[in-house]
Chain A
């Protein structure tokens, strides 16, 4: 018995020691000293050499923002408030100053995610996107962008920080941002895009980004040049649930009184599974689907309550009708 225990512990200890030597400095809860800081610095420098080539400045007729190229044929992720609407003519300036004309694709004011495509047959260096749930609280990251617009002698600006918050279509970091950074990319230390800069906070070190997951969840909607505008959000269908992504899935946190959701029996705590057969993998997917329907349209909502799956057909109303 004694022999068995010793073997058991020895067997347990080997993988643990292997694991600890494999932990990178930037994966620790906090860097422990000079060596770790040096490793983080070197990792940023190595990936930055590659990532910076995908960062662009975006000029519209009334302002300047930033963006990041994510495909060889010139697809660019940015913020919805930089492009404003679909089908808008824009100018994209590459890191080396080369200019290309571009056309905005889709976006959403709900998350502030936006897309555009450069109007050319050239091939571009591009950045890869992190997978769903790849980025999490406390991860080291860096922000790139062209604050105050493209500046030839300065180029893009690099800021380092950590993820200080992430929930649904919002991520916060303490990377220090400025106007004009909007739409620029946030990278993890592997050099993958984990977010897009959305809006700056009054505090310089609590700025907001759109997580990459938001783009992945609504990719087809944006690529199909559909844009969820403020007007659409106001005039479209209204369901009346407040939801958020939890460990269990898309969970209803509250029901609007006198809303269709209340009338048709949805409850706080229900897990939303699909709408009209479309799997719900983000809160925004639900928001976009409902807002692109019209008041009077019905949707079939599949949900889970007490481990039982149910579905209900709900006619949507208009937002004003509720008030």
Chain B
């Protein structure tokens, strides 16, 4: 599907024949923009907390993610799937400490890390227990280098983000004929099915050794799988049956290969689906700044950033979900 927003008016520009000479557009001083220094100053009441309670999780010299300090004894919560291999953290003051992973929560993609240090006066956030609409409220997180804050807005209702599921990358023939199996009408170029050698005109007879008669049955089988899972197909081609192994791909990568919104976004989070509830905001962050806290104007921590979805969209797990998970973790 074509999404509008990218036309560049070459002809309109050529009409002006010398844009440089004509352009007298005066742009607003950067300090007065949404994320400018003047506007940041207005948030000074809560910016220190935002910066001090956020840490950078590191593997060697590489920033894997941000993290949220949640306990004065030195516990940090972050995005689990981005923290694999995290050995240390760096604070806003540039101090480095070793960390160890203690707990994981698969459903929310959260991880609990312990700072291996005797200090017991770590700054920390308290999670708001309120479950109220955040739409049109300010959203504040620490900047990538933890030197200042970044400002955005909660721009869409909190909601569940369903599972993406694995895909082969084929278009199946809807009409069932007398023959067995399901006809492959099209194989998406560079998809998992294409790489596995599936071809247009093949007939899928079995998925994981179970006979299939309709596209619906195949789709149901796919829905139980994740991207990266392996499936075994029995197919018929030129009256000969054979087995093909397909390592399933991501839906967004397979079908949106040429989706320009994704192309223009730069790197985004690997896991950005299958969350019980998310808050949506547009704070300018990158994929390796997930895991840090997001605050409201009152300085309450209302969530933990969990996924960079595209160039202007982040998801956060709301605090009222994190509180109970944390209590359970700490009790153990």
Contact = CB atoms under 8 A, between A and B. Distances in A.
Interface stretch (A13-21, A194-202, A309-317): A194-202
A206 to B, nearest CB: 8
Nearest to B11: A230
**Interface size of A as a range:** 35 or more
A29 interface: yes
Interface string A53-81: 00000000011110000000000000101
A160 B34 contact: yes
Contact of A244 (B24, B28, B42, B264): B24
A299 interface: no
A184 B44 CA distance: 33
B156 A155 contact: yes
B32 to A, nearest CB: 6
Given A138-B28, A202-B264, A253-B21, A63 B2 contact: yes
A35 B106 CA distance: 40
Interface stretch (B124-132, B191-199, B209-217, B308-316): B308-316
Contacts of A156: 156
A182 B153 CA distance: 20
Contacts of A242: 16-18, 21-22
Contacts of B4: 63-65, 79, 81-82, 179-180, 182-183
A137 B26 contact: yes
Interface string B1-25: 1111111110110011110011111
A34 B297 contact: yes
Contacts of B6: 179, 199-200
B190 interface: no
A44 B136 contact: yes
Interface string B131-166: 000011110000000000000110111011000000
Interface stretch (A2-10, A97-105, A168-176, A272-280): A168-176
Nearest to A62: B2
Contacts of B28: 137-138, 162-165
Contact of B3 (A37, A41, A64, A112): A64
Contacts of B22: 242, 244, 253-254
Contacts of B320: none
A199 B21 contact: no
Nearest to B19: A242
A154 B160 CA distance: 10
Contacts of B179: none
Interface stretch (A120-128, A145-153, A215-223, A300-308): A145-153
Given A34-B42, A63-B2, A183-B4, A254 B21 contact: yes
A233 interface: yes
B33 A174 contact: yes
Contacts of A36: 42
A142 B156 CA distance: 13
B282 interface: yes
B284 A205 contact: yes
B251 to A, nearest CB: 14
A138 B313 CA distance: 24
B280 to A, nearest CB: 7
Contact of A158 (B35, B156, B311): B156
B136 A45 contact: yes
Interface string A237-273: 0000010101000000110100000000000000000
A233 B137 contact: no
A165 B33 CA distance: 11
B288 to A, nearest CB: 17
A146 to B, nearest CB: 10
A177 interface: yes
Contacts of A112: 7, 9
B144 to A, nearest CB: 15
A25 to B, nearest CB: 9
Given A112-B9, A205-B33, A179 B3 contact: yes
Interface in B111-127: none
B43 to A, nearest CB: 7
A159 B25 contact: no
A167 B28 CA distance: 12
B297 A109 contact: no
A287 B24 CA distance: 18
Contacts of A132: none
Given A44-B136, A178-B261, A204-B311, A162 B155 contact: no
B160 A153 contact: yes
Contact of B42 (A30, A111, A202, A256): A30
Contacts of A163: 28
Nearest to A243: B22
Contacts of A158: 135-136, 153, 155-156
A110 interface: yes
Identify the 7 closest CB pairs spanning chains A and B, nearest first: A63-B2, A179-B3, A176-B312, A179-B5, A182-B4, A164-B28, A30-B38
Given A34-B42, A174-B35, A178-B310, 17 more contacts: A30-B41, A33-B42, A33-B44, A41-B138, A48-B135, A65-B5, A154-B159, A159-B282, A164-B33, A176-B311, A177-B5, A178-B313, A179-B264, A205-B35, A230-B11, A242-B16, A244-B22
8 contacts: A63-B3, A81-B7, A109-B12, A111-B12, A160-B34, A176-B312, A179-B4, A199-B5
